[in-house]
Structure 1
Amino acid sequence: MKLGFDAKRAYHNTTGLGNYSRDLLKILAAFYPDNSYVLYNPKPKKVDRLSDYKNLIEKLPDSFLNKKFSSFWRQGAIVNQLKQDKIDLYHGLSGEIPRNIKKEGIPSVVTIHDLIFVRYPELYSFFDRKIHYNKFKYAAQNADKVIAISEQTKNDIVEFLDIDASKIEVIYQGCHSVFKEIATSSEIEKVKSKFNLPEKFILNVGTIEERKNLLSIVKSIKNLDVHLVVVGRKTKYYDRVLEYVKSNQLTNRVHFLEGVDLKELSVLYQSAEIFVYPSIFEGFGIPIIEALYSKTPVITSRGGVFPEAGGSDSYYVDPSNIDEFTNAIDVLLKDETKRNDMIEKGHKFVQKFNDEVIANAIMKLYKTVLNEK
């Protein structure tokens, strides 16, 4: 098969949608090497993490005008290039497909990660909400199949986009293979030394924004004897968190790290006593998966998508209840036996997100779409 992909995020985003795109492309290339995977990139790449795979072929816009107006190319004019390249099926990896792709008879699949802009409109501008909604609605209506990355997202697509549930397939995300590698003691010491970290700490990973709810963790450790390490891109919400840290004399116990590469991040997961993820809402929650693969016990939010990612043996609390968070952290820090039990069961649970499972599910869906044509 010759498969086409929207590769904007794969070549330009270092987190989130970029990671999803790259990880999926890599596992398809590895487990189904006889296919050709054509990656349509609107602009010269900023991120180069796919060059090791010879069957991943990058394609840029094919004319001066398409290069100059690359966003319009990606939304519509790309279809002519797909036809010229004789693409069997096109996969929009981030909630979008080109206009007229259905009219031109090219089978398509789209992945929708979440509809947070509908659930929490206050986090987005009016115009961003309208743009996201129109793109996602069009893609869900016109693609042959929709991939939702969780049951939570599937339910939201049905409710908010009015798409028939039979058109939607839940295929979970995995995570980068680096989180499955066991760090050596020297690697752990090297990372701790580089970032000047204490011997024991709890960890939070994710963009420092209001929805991720970092302030709840900071408040929860105020009266505990524990250090918190935070890895994530800063937004305006960071200023609120920092103000609380400073006003409550927590500067020496809350560590904001920058310049952390993937390998170092994997070492941080393995070094942490607990991973704490108090997000209010997610489409899935990849950091939870990363922690479970790293054999680190997880405390996360009760309800929503989080049990899908964390399984039955993670520790769930009300994300708005500081006392619950404090108690959960305190209990796990004091109970090594419980932590070890959570580690063993969590690592067993997370194997359902292994690369081969995901690759097989994706390829099965592609073949279903093509067989129905």
Structure 2
Amino acid sequence: MKIILFTHPQFLAHQSMPRFARMISEGMIQKGHEVRIWFPKAFFFKLALRKPLLQKWFGYLDQYLVFPMLTKMKVLGCSRDTLFVFADNALGPWIPLVNKRKHVVHCHDFLAQQSAYGSLAENKIGFTGRYYQKFIHWGYNKAENFISISNKTQTDLHSFLTQPPKFSKVVYNGLNQNFEPAKNKAVIRELLTNNFGIDLSKGYILHVGGNAFYKNKLGVLEIYDQWATDYTSKVPLILVGEVPSEELIAFKEKSQFSKSIYFISNIDDFQLQHFYQGASVMLFPSLYEGFGWPIVEAMAAGTLVITTDENPMKEVAGNAGFYIPKKNFESEEFAKWKSVAAKQLEHVLQLTPEQKALAVQKSILRSKQFSAQGFVNAIEKLYKQILLN
């Protein structure tokens, strides 16, 4: 196959999307296919002098003015048997450039779309944000072929399309890093203790994720605070991800357990795997997800996962997950939610060695259903179907 893979520009500094695009490109190349990657270069963006607002708008010029003009000319030189692959549905505005050719769009989540159309009360966005999401919607609505990373994402996709898609399949994400259980958790915890200056010898509660509203990072702090209040056992909370927001810092400072809460940022993949391996439990109470990478990563590293009792989190964790209700923001229900979540956290932490070993075995087994090779094999088969249709 000849594949043109559209990806986000490098100047946007995404993290998960480049890994996903690499998994596609490297996997297809290893199978003997020809892959070329197209993305906007930084022309106007370089002139923004590192000023965030200017970078945003100049970046739009590069993405939606310069890149489309260059792409139109490059498409003319592509043979008719070329498959144009979009690594993300958020690249929608470029789809009309090739929608008369063989193409497919990988769909991750529609949270920004739902926010723009008022479906997610927790995330209100401004006029320009709503317009931008409508621009994206206009674009991917021109496509015919889609591959979604979960059944939940596929359902959301179909709700936004104005007509049924010609081709729509689900292929779960594959692990694109080598996560595996530690041979000895105590050794990993000692290593982390020495490297980060935090006593993790007795274990710790882990959360991995960004600061986006749907990650419910504040909810992680709220659950931990309730758990530390209600129960006598005490281990630290480690939150790995972006630099904490002012809201998160404020909560930590007000908590009577603030000295046991740690935000860890700017670590490499090797250190991330160590945090997964050494954790007592992974706490992942997301409100929404497209898939939920950290769930699989933690399970593959031999760590139990507590997550929200809704799809796609349930879809991913399956019978290996431990579940809590989705956060309810109403005052009385919120207090109940914290209590229930804290109780589940204590339950997992107090599992007997035999119960824990069985649960870990289930988690590792579950994670094997999300292999990178399985993902590549599945999308290769679908790509070929699209080209033949």
Return the TM-score normalized by structure 1.
Answer: 0.84
1:276 aligns with 2:269: no
SS in 2 for 1:356: helix
Letter of the 1:37 partner, please give it: V
Shift of 1:232: 1.4
Contact residue 107 and residue 144 of structure 1 kept, 8 A: no
1:92 aligns with 2:86: yes
Q: 1:82 aligns with which of 75, 84, 93?
A: 75
Shift of 1:342: 1.9
Letter of the 2:241 partner, please give it: G
Other-structure match for 1:360: 377
SS in 2 for 1:177: coil
- How well do the aligned residues superpose, as a CA RMSD in angstroms? 2.7
Shift of 1:195: 1.3
Contact residue 113 and residue 283 of structure 1 kept, 8 A: yes
Q: 2:240 aligns with which of 231, 234, 247?
A: 231
Shift of 1:90: 0.7
1:19 aligns with 2:19: yes
SS in 2 for 1:179: coil
Other-structure match for 1:319: 326
Contact residue 112 and residue 136 of structure 1 kept, 8 A: no
Encode CA deviations 1:98-135: one digit per residue, 9 max, x unaligned. 254346x4211111211112142634333223322332
Shift of 1:282: 0.7
Give the aligned length. Answer: 346
1:301 aligns with 2:297: no
1:3 aligns with 2:3: yes
SS in 1 for 2:239: strand
Shift of 1:138: 2.4
Deviates more, 1:314-323 or 1:9-18: 9-18
Encode CA deviations 1:195-242: one digit per residue, 9 max, x unaligned. 12322101001112432112222222222422110011146xx32222
Shift of 1:356: 1.8
Alpha-carbon distance change, 166 to 276 in structure 1, aligned in 2, over 3 angstroms? farther
SS in 1 for 2:262: strand
Distance (whole Å) between structure 2 residues aligned to residue 44 and residue 294 of structure 1: 38
Letter of the 1:339 partner, please give it: K
Shift of 1:7: 2.6
1:340 aligns with 2:340: no
Other-structure match for 1:252: 259
1:111 aligns with 2:93: no
Encode CA deviations 1:269-319: one digit per residue, 9 max, x unaligned. 000010000111111111111111111100000112111111122011013
Identity rate of aligned residues, in percent? 21
Letter of the 1:351 partner, please give it: K
Distance (whole Å) between structure 1 residues aligned to residue 372 and residue 21 of structure 2: 13
Distance (whole Å) between structure 2 residues aligned to residue 35 and residue 308 of structure 1: 31
Contact residue 2 and residue 83 of structure 2 kept, 8 A: yes
Contact residue 174 and residue 373 of structure 2 kept, 8 A: no
Distance (whole Å) between structure 2 residues aligned to residue 339 and residue 188 of structure 1: 18
SS in 2 for 1:178: coil
Distance (whole Å) between structure 1 residues aligned to residue 304 and residue 166 of structure 2: 35
Shift of 1:341: 2.0
Contact residue 107 and residue 143 of structure 1 kept, 8 A: no
Matches within 5 A, 1:287-298: 287-298=294-305
Shift of 1:163: 4.3
Contact residue 75 and residue 99 of structure 1 kept, 8 A: no
Distance (whole Å) between structure 2 residues aligned to residue 190 and residue 203 of structure 1: 16
Matches within 5 A, 1:37-52: 37-43=35-41
Distance (whole Å) between structure 1 residues aligned to residue 309 and residue 287 of structure 2: 9
SS in 2 for 1:8: coil
Contact residue 208 and residue 233 of structure 1 kept, 8 A: yes
SS in 2 for 1:357: helix
Contact residue 145 and residue 165 of structure 2 kept, 8 A: no
Other-structure match for 2:387: 370
Contact residue 241 and residue 266 of structure 2 kept, 8 A: no
Shift of 1:14: 4.3
Shift of 1:94: 1.4
Where in structure 2 are there 5+ consecutive unaligned residues? 44-60, 328-336
Shift of 1:256: 0.5
Letter of the 1:135 partner, please give it: I
Contact residue 179 and residue 294 of structure 1 kept, 8 A: yes
Deviates more, 1:71-80 or 1:313-322: 71-80
Encode CA deviations 1:241-273: one digit per residue, 9 max, x unaligned. 222222222221111012211110011000001
SS in 1 for 2:320: coil
Runs of 4+ in 1 over 4 A off after TM superposition: 9-12, 181-188
Contact residue 10 and residue 22 of structure 1 kept, 8 A: no
SS in 1 for 2:76: helix
Other-structure match for 1:56: none
1:261 aligns with 2:268: yes
Letter of the 1:325 partner, please give it: A
Contact residue 144 and residue 165 of structure 2 kept, 8 A: no
Other-structure match for 2:97: 101
